[in-house]
Amino acid sequence: MGALIQARDLRRTYRMGGMDVHALSGVTLDIEAGAYVAVMGASGSGKSTFMNMLGALDQPSSGQLIINDIALHERSADELAAFRNQTIGFVFQQFNLLARTTALDNVGLPLLYSGMATKERHARAAHCLEMVGLGDRMDHHPSQLSGGQQQRVAIARALANNPRILLADEPTGALDSRTTQDVMAIFDQLNREGITLIIVTHEDEVGAHARRQIIFRDGHVLEDRR
């Protein structure tokens, strides 16, 4: 039994306009359980592609990716759905909350797909909202919340199923510096409590929160600082 995340010669090739574009060209690395990792690099360096693969949102063209002893490269669509539901929590730059849906129901969405009963689901979603300090905003719609609050709802949603790994793709990209600090404080706290945290960012201050920085360029790992 190896590291929590094991990537072996991970490649991803897109065909665009008759040309092959190598978004990832052979990435090999391990991430241990409980790590706090910042994935950095210029846009087009492959960091987001790598992140999407960790979240099973995208599939490698070749190579192996084993997370939590699950070989993602050889799993069916339903098994990947269960993996996204149970093992991973994903936080997006644009929050991606459902409009005209309460914070409580947004947070409860992953629980809906894990088949949790309504009453239990509401209790669990409320608990997650309290963890991010939004216990008094449960019935608000996203349009009634500030950007920072919306991102905290999104974090609560990512935490709903108690995942081992939290993936955040530019989570502070749409936030100002003060709310960025609030959100990063939540991430720091979650990592201290034991969750494995991987953040894609191009901001050095955000990267500095992590204990390990992996820097991508042209689809390769350029630097791996610990």
Partner 1 sequence: MSPLAAFGTALTALRVNALRSFLAMLGVIIGVAAVITTVSISQGAKRAIEEQISSLGANALMIRPNSSSRGGRRGGFGSGTPFSDADTIALRDLPYLAGASGTIGASGTLVVDGINWPSDVEGVDADYFDIRDIIIEDGRAFTQAETEARARVVLLGKTVERELFPYGGAIGSSVRINNIPFDVIGLIASSGQSSGGRDRDDIVYAPVSTVRSRLSGFRYPGVRDPVNAIWVEVRQGYDVETVTAQLTDFMTAQRNLRIGQEADFVVSNFADFIRARNESEKMFSVMLAAVAGVCLLVGGIGIMNIMLVSVTERTREIGLRLAVGARPRDIRNQFLVEAIVLCLAGGLFGLAFGAAGAYGVEKIGEFAVSIEPMVALIAVGASSLVGIIFGFYPAHRASQLNPIDALRYE
Interface residues with partner 1 (CB under 8 A) are 52, 55-58, 77-78, 81-82, 84-86, 90, 92, 96, 98-101, 109-110, 112-115, 118, 157, 161
Query: By C-beta, is 81 or 185 nearer to partner 1?
Result: 81
Least separation in angstroms between CB 53 and partner 1: 9
Least separation in angstroms between CB 22 and partner 1: 17
Place of tokens 């084993």: 66
Query: By C-beta, is 213 or 216 nearer to partner 1?
Result: 216
Least separation in angstroms between CB 177 and partner 1: 26
What is the bridge-based pairing of β-strands 19-31 and 165-169? unpaired
The rounded distance, in Å, linking the Cα atoms of 41 and 47 is 7
DSSP state for residue 98 in the 8-state scheme: P
Tokens standing for 155?
Answer: 């974090």
Place of tokens 């629980």: 111
Query: By C-beta, is 114 or 224 nearer to partner 1?
Result: 114
For 69, 101, 148, 175, 188, the CA distances from 181, given in Å and listed in that order, are 34, 27, 10, 9, 10
Least separation in angstroms between CB 208 and partner 1: 28
Do 2 and 69 meet the contact criterion of CB atoms below 8 Å apart? Answer: no
Query: By C-beta, is 102 or 196 nearer to partner 1?
Result: 102
Least separation in angstroms between CB 58 and partner 1: 5
Query: By C-beta, is 110 or 207 nearer to partner 1?
Result: 110
The rounded distance, in Å, linking the Cα atoms of 200 and 132 is 20
Please, what is the angle between helix 103-113 and helix 77-86, to 10°? Answer: 130
Query: By C-beta, is 86 or 181 nearer to partner 1?
Result: 86
Place of tokens 């905003």: 137
Least separation in angstroms between CB 17 and partner 1: 17
Least separation in angstroms between CB 178 and partner 1: 27
Query: By C-beta, is 55 or 148 nearer to partner 1?
Result: 55
Cα 4-126-167 angle, rounded to 5 deg: 25
The rounded distance, in Å, linking the Cα atoms of 6 and 122 is 35
Q: Which residues pair with 65 in a beta bridge?
A: 7
